């Protein structure tokens, strides 16, 4: 029978120290079917200072073998290593996958557990400094299964997420977004965010516009959106937006009890449905 559940949660912590350089952070959640030869195109990153490390970390699960290295990782067609097996912090679990544990501080990349902040990956080391493999603020990476490089069979690896960290000259700026919006089913509400100069919403479904700060939402189901917000200096941040659709409340039922005309008070029962 298939496995159902959350098997690999992750914790991501970020703090701001105004005395240190700004760090650009990107979490890439896998959105592709897994055949063993996936290509990911990363575009529109904030400006990157390539004099400092550019951290790239894997977060995989159920790699198909407890010890075997089975995944080639290419950055812009450059092979930087072959990973696989059960990560050190998951050694009690078979096939638990490779996790790149790290922190980035003061223009330096630090590896944790068995992860090494050099320019290669190997076995359960799921962290690499890839600054020498990229050019500009876009790049692509590819994971190719060692035994099944031609996309067969399906589900040869479970690649969950990827983490990017690098220093950037971009200034910080604030964007105000409510924790969530509530919308009655079948009715329109306006999503109000404050901050930024340009905006891009995804997905487009249910929205009146995708390049405005305050689109109208009309749909019958709850949805997660992401909005990319650009600042004056062409730097941007991507934020989640939650819209929950609820049933429209019905009008209350009001019942009154008759009284004598000489009485100064009466009784009214209100039932909220």
pLDDT score at 247: 86
Confidence band of 227 (pLDDT split at 50, 70, 90) = very high
Look up the pTM and report it: 0.75
Confidence band of 70 (pLDDT split at 50, 70, 90) = confident
* Among the ranges given (43-57, 110-124, 154-168, 193-207), the one the predictor scored with the smallest mean pLDDT: 154-168
Strand 181-184, strand 198-202: pairing: unpaired
Helices then strands, each counted (H, E), the chain = 0, 19
Average pLDDT value for residue range 180-200:
91
Q: Nearest Cα to 225, choosing from 184, 196, 186, 193?
A: 193
* Among the ranges given (18-27, 101-110, 112-121, 205-214), the one the predictor scored with the smallest mean pLDDT: 18-27
pLDDT score at 2: 46
pLDDT score at 1: 40
pLDDT score at 80: 95
Confidence band of 166 (pLDDT split at 50, 70, 90) = very high
What distance in Å separates the CA atoms of residue 163 and residue 117, rounded to the nearest whole number? 13
Confidence band of 21 (pLDDT split at 50, 70, 90) = confident
Q: Please report, for residues 21, 23, 237, 238, 260, the alpha-carbon distance to residue 18 in angstroms, rounded to integers and kept in the order given.
A: 8, 11, 18, 21, 74
Confidence band of 43 (pLDDT split at 50, 70, 90) = confident
The token pair at 267 is: 């009784």
What distance in Å separates the CA atoms of residue 115 and residue 129, rounded to the nearest whole number? 11
């Amino acid at each position: 029978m298939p496995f159902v559940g959350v098997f690999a949660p992750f914790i991501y912590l970020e703090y701001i120290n105004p005395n240190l350089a700004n760090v650009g952070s990107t979490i890439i959640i896998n959105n592709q079917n897994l055949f063993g030869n996936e290509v990911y195109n990363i575009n529109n990153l904030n400006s990157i200072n390539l004099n400092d490390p550019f951290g790239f970390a894997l977060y995989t699960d159920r790699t198909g073998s407890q010890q075997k290295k089975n995944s080639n990782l290419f950055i812009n067609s450059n092979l930087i290593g072959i990973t696989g097996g059960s990560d050190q912090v998951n050694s009690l679990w078979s096939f638990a996958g490779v996790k790149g544990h790290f922190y980035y501080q003061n223009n330096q990349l630090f590896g944790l557990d068995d992860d090494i902040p050099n320019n290669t990956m190997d076995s359960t080391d799921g962290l690499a400094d890839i600054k020498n493999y990229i050019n500009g603020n876009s790049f692509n990476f590819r994971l190719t299964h060692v035994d099944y490089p031609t996309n067969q069979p399906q589900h040869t690896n479970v690649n969950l997420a990827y983490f990017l960290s690098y220093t950037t000259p971009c200034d910080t700026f604030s964007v105000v977004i409510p924790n969530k919006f509530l919308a009655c089913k079948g009715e329109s509400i306006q999503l109000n965010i404050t901050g930024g100069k340009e905006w891009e919403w995804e997905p487009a479904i249910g929205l009146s516009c995708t390049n405005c700060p305050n689109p109208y939402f009309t749909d019958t189901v709850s949805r997660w959106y992401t909005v990319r917000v650009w600042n004056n200096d062409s730097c941007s941040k991507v934020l989640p937006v939650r819209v929950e659709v609820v049933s429209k409340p019905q009008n209350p039922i009001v019942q009154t009890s008759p009284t004598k005309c000489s009485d100064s008070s009466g009784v009214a029962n209100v039932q909220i449905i």
